[in-house]
Amino acid sequence: MIEFHDVSKTFAGRPAASHLNLHFAEGAFSVLIGTSGSGKSTTLKMINRLVEHDSGQIRFAGEEIRSLPVLELRRRMGYAIQSIGLFPHWTVAQNIATVLQLEKWTKARIADRVDELMALLGLEPSLRDRYPHQLSGGQQQRVGVARALAANPQVLLMDEPFGALDPVTRGALQAEMTRIHRILGRTIVLVTHDIDEALRLGDRLILMDQGEVVQQGSPLELLTHPANDFVREFFGRSELGVRLLSLRTVGEYMRSQSDAVAGEPLRAQMSLRDALSAFVARRCEVLPVADEQGVTCGALHFRDLLTGEVAGEVGA
Ligand code: ADP
Ligand code: MG
């Protein structure tokens, strides 16, 4: 969907992005990760030409992005950032409809689309006519994402979108993004410096340092086959075990027989990391597991977390 061929960008003689070769596949959730100043935002902004690349080629659906009118390019790409940029004197509904107004949708269609997006982002209909300052940070961020998705863009670009939120709100929005990605199947490129966020959201990670790509691949590849010490250190040796747990689901580790295991069930799609928290909080060694419909479908044994593949990967 989006390809970088030997793309570089310098600011005042200093490289911000060097010789990038990247492929953001259609429908994939890609995450650019790295410390502050590593070139993540520059890379993201080159995709919608908020920053123009100096050399190399960037192709979007096969076409060099410079050959596309910039407004058309941006219409095809939603963009959501941390500082949201909601218009303070516009209501929630008006903010979400920004691009739809520009595209001259009819009033009735806009109203329907706003309702649909608010439902998708878990925003109560009663918030429709509020102004941004009357919303919580998490709600504002949801409006920002709804606005970015309004015109059904082919690509969603997100730059540290949840960076300013408290951990609970942030976790809730991350879960929403995973759900939205599953429902809409959009191509998403997200920038973050937060390792856990990257592991939670991305099906492909691109780790950057000093404007260069150090390693790219699936989260599991980066954790279990780090290309060098930088990658190993970045993901933190001591926390590797917990991080691997965050990539595996309860469903993959449960046993199918669940005869009379008591307690509030874990959900099969939950990560093993969240299951571990449940075991610790509830001081038990086995918990029932329920599927998406809430029907009990198995049981998870604490000791299986210690003997399974995850344990093997950490030992390796
Ligand atoms: P990140 O998003 O990973 O924190 P950036 O892509 O924002 O990193 O920045 C990479 C490097 O480029 C940094 O050294 C930063 O100071 C520099 N840089 C980014 N944008 C500009 C700009 N508009 N003008 C000058 N230097 C910039
Ligand atoms: Mg940045």
pLDDT digits (tens, 9 = 90+) for 106-139: 999 999 999 999 998 889 999 999 999 999 988 9
pLDDT at 316: 45
pLDDT at 85: 80
Q: Of all protein residues, whose CA lies closest to atom 15 belonging to ligand 1?
A: 37
Mean local confidence (pLDDT), 268-273: 92
Ligand 1 pocket (Cβ < 6 Å) reads 11, 16, 34, 36-42
Q: Which of 9, 42, 81, 191 to mutate to test the pocket of ligand 1 (most atoms within 8 A of CB)?
A: 42
Contact call for residues 146 and 121 (beta carbons, < 8 A): yes
The model's pLDDT over 132-177, given as tens digits with 9 standing for 90+, comes to 999 998 899 999 999 999 999 999 999 998 887 888 888 888 988 9
| pLDDT beyond 60 at 315 | no
Nearest to 97 by CA among 80, 79, 115: 115
199-202: long-range pairs with CB below 8 Å, 24+:
199/223, 199/243, 199/246, 199/247, 200/174, 200/246, 200/271, 201/29, 201/31, 201/174, 201/177, 202/29, 202/30, 202/31, 202/33
The model's pLDDT over 183-226, given as tens digits with 9 standing for 90+, comes to 989 999 999 999 989 988 999 999 999 999 999 999 888 988 89
